[in-house]
């Protein structure tokens, strides 16, 4: 074509003037830069002006508006193209790697970009089809409002969009990898996008402003197994379907449309950098059987009000990879390798959760709920903020020991219906949070579950093989099952155990170190171990231990009750403290070691067997208003000291206290209504002076061991018998009851109050200290040996020596005194038995108390002194040779008998009774005056003619006043002769005579009253009473047999046949010369019997 000369010149000069340039195809090809020779030396190109001599120039330039018309035009030369406007209704292909710049607008129909940079400073409009990227490095730089209205194909090498927004309104077939968005570029697709990149492909972003892919139409990834990576922000508004391979979103973005991932495909919300976020907004759905994945450090956000339900979801990447669920995320299959779930919404796993990688997982201020099955075999979990991990399905934990970390107000909750299988050791730790259960926990494989945060345990907990260690306290109302040799341990913190909690099985609930179990309501445990100080069990309700309480140390306290219906072992040297309001032990309690302390109003009621078998001395002590109440058996079985001390009550209400060996010392307050079986060892009440132990009715003692009172107060409120050896060393025995003792040793102390101390066997009173009987009755029904120390009789004290009893007084080395309390001088000794002083030739026993005698008083050695009133009501006062009985006050004998050798008194007044000198026969010296009244009798025994050795002699050192009866008796077969004399009494002076003299049968005596003596003289022999036929001084059946044959009747004066004539004379008792009924009446009158 020939170009106008003027136009040709203008273009050649490339001046600033604008020109319209069109394509004419003069060279007959499609090449933008073709230069051809048409012959005749004329050069041509494909434009509507000639090239001139420098072919192929001139070409369209930056001021040219280029119209390609409907032609097919290709830019293939490695030359820079710069035009002002560009339009084409045909086919335009940029195939070179050199830049192509349109300074204005570009309006293209079918367009292929395969190499270099295509820059449109104005609007770029591509009608399509548009083929992009047959080779690498194809980049478009365009105006933000540029668009492709027809179909597009992305193939070949790399593509790029730089700093502009390009909208694809038609479909895109994306078949090759490599695409870059830079400097704030936006790829906007409104049509369907089909991605068929055969291998890995990347939508690359480089440095600069935010780059985006805004998809308003459907996007499909298919036909490839590799990864398709979008590093730009991706906005899904038309739907994304991943049919194969992996579709990875690295740059964040948002979605308001659906995602669908096929079962062989993966959609990865990677958001690789921490400042990137991908948000699922309202309208988003996640469907398909494929995998939805979150990796990278950026954030996947499920917006508030949005619920998405992927069938499979994987959270992976590095630690801290976040998924922020402000709405709801429902997952059927959740693979959680690592990363964080956060947000104020809910993640729910309806199928399975798998945690088998070693990564770190976190739930931060979010709720994760598991409805299906969970496998946790590796890695750790952290819950923070107010995050919750809620298991309503089955969680299987296995592998090696790992951590579950909770902080703030986070909670791990094995909810109702949930099952937690723990087959490996787990440490639940943190600076806050709570571990909760209302479902079922199963611990197997010797796993140790150490929970150092607060717990809230309901449901069931089965410790089949392992340990559950609760170091953070909390609460529990679960049903625990603990296998043999396994345990649930509280080493620290406060665990509140509420009804209906139960700890069943042969394993133990262990409270140790500083742990506290705080029991509310009624709680049952088979086995409990309290093993630390200050570890404690605090009961506001009732804790019932059914099999074994193993108590090594610590305290049981609270306002409630602890019931041990099984056994209890109290072991270890540490103290054990009871401060609970009620403690009941119903089985066997083995006190093996350690001290026991009761306080805070504790009442320990024991109905089982308490076996005290400590190897060293131990104590049970208490504070005021606390009590140990034995209603079972307390057994002391080791040979050491056990002390019950303090101002609390040791009660033996209805059981038995058995002391087999050692010493059981009761130094506390208390009372008894039951049995004390002291078979060996010592039961001691003491030595605290101001505590009182009370023996009430129903109390009994048995065994051969010793019962001892040492320093304390023994209150006898009922009738109590002690057959054991009983030692009263010091202290006080008080009360209104009756204390019966079979074997008493009294070395000190006071017996007080109007009760009765009864000795039924042997009592030994010794020890240098004084013994006081004050306002109390001491009754000796056995034998009392008073060997040492003084006795003091206080106000209204009464010492009864009962009939058959012996009160043996005296010492071989010391004088003894039974004295009156000078402030209350009213004590009395009542002797109805035998009071005897047997030893101590040079010692004396002084009764400086009032004495009433109805029994026997014998002084066989030394001196027996009665310095107060002595009333001889009846009985015997006997003084052996070498003995002396001295009365400080005049003695009046109303009845009874005084015999022996020496009595010293101011005056003996015999108003009744008998004085018998010597001991058959002997000499009695009365050092004082002797007054015998009409009721008195002086008994003189004659066995020979030697004074003092063969007949009695009464020596009165003072005056004698005689009256009453003189009874003369022959002994040892002695028969005095007429004329024999016997000086039976000597005195300083005499007044009166005996009113009656009783002589021996067959003998007649005369009494000579001389100035200083009384002498008997025999004046007759053979004088027998009427009716005494055999001369034995009585009238009995023998005499009747002699009288009977002589009875012949009235007026018969001759003896009948069979009657001796001498007997006939003696049978006539009335002297009328016959023997008849009148004589029988006389015989009956004088009949005496043998």
- Is residue 687 over pLDDT 60? yes
User: How far apart, in whole angstroms, are the C-alpha atoms of residue 541 and residue 849?
Assistant: 62
**Structural contact between residues 467 and 487, judged by C-beta atoms closer than 8 angstroms:** yes
- Is residue 942 over pLDDT 90? yes
Banded model confidence at residue 746, pLDDT cuts 50, 70, 90 = very high
- Is residue 9 over pLDDT 70? no
Backbone angles phi, psi at 671, to 5 degrees: -155, 160
Q: So what's the pLDDT on residue 434?
A: 93
User: Where in 231-311 does DSSP place strands (E)?
Assistant: 233-236, 240-242, 246-249, 253-255, 258-261, 266-268, 277-280, 285-287, 291-294, 299-302, 307-308
Write out the two tokens for 202. 């990347």
**Structural contact between residues 153 and 172, judged by C-beta atoms closer than 8 angstroms:** yes
Helix (H, G, I), strand (E, B) or coil at 62: coil
Q: So what's the pLDDT on residue 13?
A: 34
Residue whose tokens read 């927004």: 165
As to burial, measured by CB atoms within 10 angstroms (0-12 exposed, 13-18 middle, 19+ buried), residue 111 is buried
| DSSP notation for 367-427 | EEEE-SEEEE-SSEEEEETT-EEEE-SEEEE-SS-EEEEE-TT-EEEE-TT-EEEE-S-EE
User: How far apart, in whole angstroms, are the C-alpha atoms of residue 272 and residue 276?
Assistant: 7
Query: 798-811: per-residue pLDDT in tens?
Result: 999 999 999 999 87
Q: So what's the pLDDT on residue 1069?
A: 87
Average pLDDT over residues 386-410: 94
User: How far apart, in whole angstroms, are the C-alpha atoms of residue 50 and residue 10?
Assistant: 11
Q: What is the DSSP letter of 275?
A: T
Average pLDDT over residues 611-625: 94
What percentage of the chain carries pLDDT values higher than 70?
Answer: 96
User: How far apart, in whole angstroms, are the C-alpha atoms of residue 257 and residue 268?
Assistant: 16
Q: So what's the pLDDT on residue 18?
A: 66
Helix (H, G, I), strand (E, B) or coil at 993: coil
Q: Which of 1013, 1006, 959 is nearest to 979 (CA)?
A: 1006
Write out the two tokens for 293. 């994945």
**Structural contact between residues 616 and 594, judged by C-beta atoms closer than 8 angstroms:** no
User: How far apart, in whole angstroms, are the C-alpha atoms of residue 209 and residue 206?
Assistant: 9
Residue whose tokens read 């805070």: 600
Average pLDDT over residues 686-697: 91
Banded model confidence at residue 738, pLDDT cuts 50, 70, 90 = very high
Query: 189-209: per-residue pLDDT in tens?
Result: 999 999 887 777 666 666 667
Query: 527-563: per-residue pLDDT in tens?
Result: 999 998 889 999 999 999 999 999 999 999 999 999 9
Helix (H, G, I), strand (E, B) or coil at 9: helix
- Is residue 1058 over pLDDT 60? yes
| DSSP notation for 1022-1063 | EE--TT-SSSSSS--HHHHHHHGGG--BTT--SPPTT--HHH
**Structural contact between residues 983 and 1009, judged by C-beta atoms closer than 8 angstroms:** no
Q: Which of 539, 606, 617, 509 is nearest to 567 (CA)?
A: 606
300 beta partners? 278, 323
List all residues 6 or more positions away from 443 whose beta carbon is below 8 Å from its beta carbon.
422, 449, 461, 462, 463, 464, 465, 466, 467, 468, 486
What percentage of the chain carries pLDDT values higher than 90?
Answer: 70
List all residues 6 or more positions away from 1042 whose beta carbon is below 8 Å from its beta carbon.
1029, 1030, 1060, 1063, 1067
Residue whose tokens read 């009624």: 522
**Structural contact between residues 470 and 493, judged by C-beta atoms closer than 8 angstroms:** yes
Q: So what's the pLDDT on residue 276?
A: 87
Backbone angles phi, psi at 400, to 5 degrees: -100, 170
| Backbone angle region of 775, left / alpha / beta, with phi > 0 → left and psi within -120 to 50 → alpha | left
Q: So what's the pLDDT on residue 1086?
A: 86
Q: So what's the pLDDT on residue 10?
A: 31
Backbone angles phi, psi at 1006, to 5 degrees: -120, 140
Average pLDDT over residues 924-939: 95
User: How far apart, in whole angstroms, are the C-alpha atoms of residue 422 and residue 465?
Assistant: 10
Q: So what's the pLDDT on residue 178?
A: 73
User: How far apart, in whole angstroms, are the C-alpha atoms of residue 557 and residue 623?
Assistant: 14
- Is residue 8 over pLDDT 70? no
| ∠ Cα 988 992 996 (to 5°) | 125
User: How far apart, in whole angstroms, are the C-alpha atoms of residue 406 and residue 20?
Assistant: 75
Q: Which of 836, 840, 736, 743 is nearest to 788 (CA)?
A: 840
User: How far apart, in whole angstroms, are the C-alpha atoms of residue 212 and residue 820?
Assistant: 120
User: How far apart, in whole angstroms, are the C-alpha atoms of residue 200 and residue 244?
Assistant: 12
- Is residue 442 over pLDDT 90? yes
Query: 118-162: per-residue pLDDT in tens?
Result: 999 999 999 999 988 756 578 888 888 899 999 988 876 677 888
User: How does the average pLDDT of the chain come out, rounded?
Assistant: 90
Average pLDDT over residues 579-608: 93
Banded model confidence at residue 314, pLDDT cuts 50, 70, 90 = very high
Q: Within the chain, what is the greatest distance between any pair of CA atoms?
A: 232
Backbone angles phi, psi at 35, to 5 degrees: -125, 120
Average pLDDT over residues 256-280: 91
Q: So what's the pLDDT on residue 58?
A: 76
User: How far apart, in whole angstroms, are the C-alpha atoms of residue 674 and residue 806?
Assistant: 31
- Is residue 929 over pLDDT 90? yes
């Amino acid at each position: 074509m020939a170009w106008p000369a003027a136009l040709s010149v203008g273009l050649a000069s490339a001046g600033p003037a604008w020109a319209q340039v069109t394509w004419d195809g003069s060279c007959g090809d499609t090449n933008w830069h073709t230069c051809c020779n048409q012959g005749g030396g004329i050069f041509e190109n494909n434009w509507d002006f000639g090239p001139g001599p420098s072919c192929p120039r001139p070409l369209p330039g930056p001021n040219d508006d280029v119209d390609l018309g409907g032609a097919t035009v290709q830019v293939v030369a490695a030359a820079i193209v710069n035009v002002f406007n560009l339009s084409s209704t045909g086919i335009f292909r940029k195939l070179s790697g050199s830049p192509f710049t349109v300074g204005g607008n570009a309006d293209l129909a079918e367009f292929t970009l395969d190499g270099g940079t295509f820059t449109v400073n104005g609007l770029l409009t591509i009608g399509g089809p548009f083929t992009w990227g047959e080779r690498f490095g194809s980049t478009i730089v365009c105006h933000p409002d540029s668009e492709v209205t027809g179909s597009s194909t992305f193939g070949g090498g790399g593509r790029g969009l730089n700093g502009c927004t390009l909208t694809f309104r038609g479909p895109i077939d994306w078949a090759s990898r490599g695409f870059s968005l830079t400097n704030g570029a936006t790829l906007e697709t409104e049509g369907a996008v089909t991605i068929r990149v055969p291998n890995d492909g990347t939508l690359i972003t480089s440095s600069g402003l935010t780059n985006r892919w805004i998809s308003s139409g459907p996007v499909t990834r298919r036909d490839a197994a590799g990864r398709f990576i979008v590093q730009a922000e991706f906005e899904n508004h038309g739907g994304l379907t991943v049919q194969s391979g992996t579709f990875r979103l690295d740059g964040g973005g948002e979605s308001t449309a659906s995602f669908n991932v096929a079962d062989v495909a993966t959609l990865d919300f990677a958001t690789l950098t921490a400042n990137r976020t991908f948000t699922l907004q309202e309208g988003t759905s996640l469907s398909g059987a494929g995998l939805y994945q979150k990796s990278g450090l950026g954030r996947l956000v499920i917006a508030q009000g949005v619920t998405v339900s992927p069938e499979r979801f994987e959270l992976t990447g590095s630690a801290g990879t976040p998924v922020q669920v402000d709405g709801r995320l429902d997952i059927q299959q959740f693979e959680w390798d690592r990363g964080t779930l956060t947000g104020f919404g809910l993640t729910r796993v309806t199928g399975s959760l798998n945690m088998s990688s070693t990564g770190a997982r976190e739930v931060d201020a979010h709720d994760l709920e598991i409805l299906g099955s969970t496998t946790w075999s590796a890695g750790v979990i952290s819950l923070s903020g107010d995050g919750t991990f809620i298991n309503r399905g089955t969680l299987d934990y296995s592998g090696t020991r790992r951590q579950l970390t909770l902080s703030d107000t986070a909670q791990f909750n094995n909810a109702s219906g949930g099952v937690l299988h723990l087959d490996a050791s787990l440490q639940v730790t943190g600076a806050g949070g709570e571990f909760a259960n209302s479902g079922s926990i199963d611990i197997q494989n010797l796993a140790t579950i150490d929970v150092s945060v607060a717990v809230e345990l309901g449901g069931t907990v089965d410790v089949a093989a392992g340990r559950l260690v609760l170091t953070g306290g909390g609460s529990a109302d679960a049903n625990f099952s603990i296998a043999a040799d396994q345990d649930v341990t509280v080493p620290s913190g406060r665990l509140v155990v509420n009804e209906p909690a139960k700890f069943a099985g042969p394993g133990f609930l262990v409270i140790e170190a500083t742990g506290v179990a705080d029991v509310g309501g009624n709680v049952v445990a088979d086995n409990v171990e309290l093993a630390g100080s200050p570890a404690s069990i605090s009961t506001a309700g009732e804790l019932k231990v059914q099999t074994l309480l193993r108590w090594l140390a610590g305290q049981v306290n609270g306002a409630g009750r602890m019931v041990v219906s099984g056994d209890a072992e109290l072991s270890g040297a540490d103290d054990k403290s009871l401060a609970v309001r009620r403690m009941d032990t119903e089985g066997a309690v083995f006190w093996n070691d350690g001290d026991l302390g009761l306080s805070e109003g504790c009442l320990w009621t024991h109905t089982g067997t308490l076996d005290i078998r400590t190897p060293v001395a131990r104590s049970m002590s208490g504070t005021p208003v606390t009590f140990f109440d034995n209603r079972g058996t307390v057994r002391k079985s080791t040979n050491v000291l056990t002390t019950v001390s303090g101002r609390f009550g040791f009660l033996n209400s209805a059981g038995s206290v058995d002391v087999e060996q050692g010493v059981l010392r009761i130094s506390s307050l208390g009372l008894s209504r039951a049995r004390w079986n002291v078979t060996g060892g010592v039961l001691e009440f003491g030595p605290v002076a101001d505590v009182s132990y009370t023996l009430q009715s129903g109390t009994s003692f048995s065994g051969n061991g010793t019962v001892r009172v040492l320093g304390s107060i023994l209150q006898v409120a009922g009738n109590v018998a002690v057959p054991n050896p009983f030692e009263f060393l010091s202290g006080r025995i008080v009360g209104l009851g009756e204390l019966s003792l079979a074997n008493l040793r009294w070395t000190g102390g006071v017996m007080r109050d109007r009760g009765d101390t009864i000795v039924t066997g042997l009592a030994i009173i010794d020890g240098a200290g004084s013994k006081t009987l004050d306002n109390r009755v001491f009754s000796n029904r056995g034998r009392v040996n008073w060997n040492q120390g003084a006795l003091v009789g206080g106000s209204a004290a009464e010492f009864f020596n009962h009939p058959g009893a012996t009160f043996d007084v005296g010492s071989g080395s010391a004088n003894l005194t039974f004295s009156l309390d000078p402030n209350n001088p009213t004590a009395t000794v009542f002797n109805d038995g035998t009071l005897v002083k047997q030893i101590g030739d040079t010692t004396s026993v002084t009764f400086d108390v009032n004495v009433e005698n109805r029994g026997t008083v014998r002084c066989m050695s030394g001196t027996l002194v009665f310095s107060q009133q002595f009333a001889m009501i009846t009985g015997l006062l006997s003084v052996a040779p070498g003995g002396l009985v001295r009365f400080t006050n005049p003695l009046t004998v109303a009845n009874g008998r005084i015999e022996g050798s020496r009595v010293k008194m101011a005056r003996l007044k015999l108003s009744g009774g008998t004085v018998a000198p010597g001991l058959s026969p002997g000499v009695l010296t009365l050092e004082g005056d002797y007054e015998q009244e009409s009721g008195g009798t002086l008994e003189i025994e004659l066995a020979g003619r030697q004074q003092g050795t063969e007949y009695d002699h009464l020596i009165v050192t003072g005056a004698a006043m005689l009256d009453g009866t003189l009874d003369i008796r022959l002994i040892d077969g002695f028969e005095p002769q007429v004329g024999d004399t016997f000086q039976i009494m000597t005195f300083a002076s005499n007044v009166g005579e005996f009113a009656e003299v009783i002589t021996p049968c067959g003998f007649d005596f005369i009494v000579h009253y001389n100035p200083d003596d009384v002498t008997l003289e025999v004046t007759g022999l053979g004088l027998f009473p009427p009716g005494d036929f055999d001369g034995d001084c009585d009238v009995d059946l023998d005499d009747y047999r002699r009288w009977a044959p002589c009875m012949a009747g009235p007026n018969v004066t001759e003896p009948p046949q069979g009657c001796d004539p001498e007997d006939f004379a003696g049978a006539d008792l009335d002297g009328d010369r016959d023997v008849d009924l009148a004589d029988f009446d006389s015989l009956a009158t004088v009949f005496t019997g043998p």
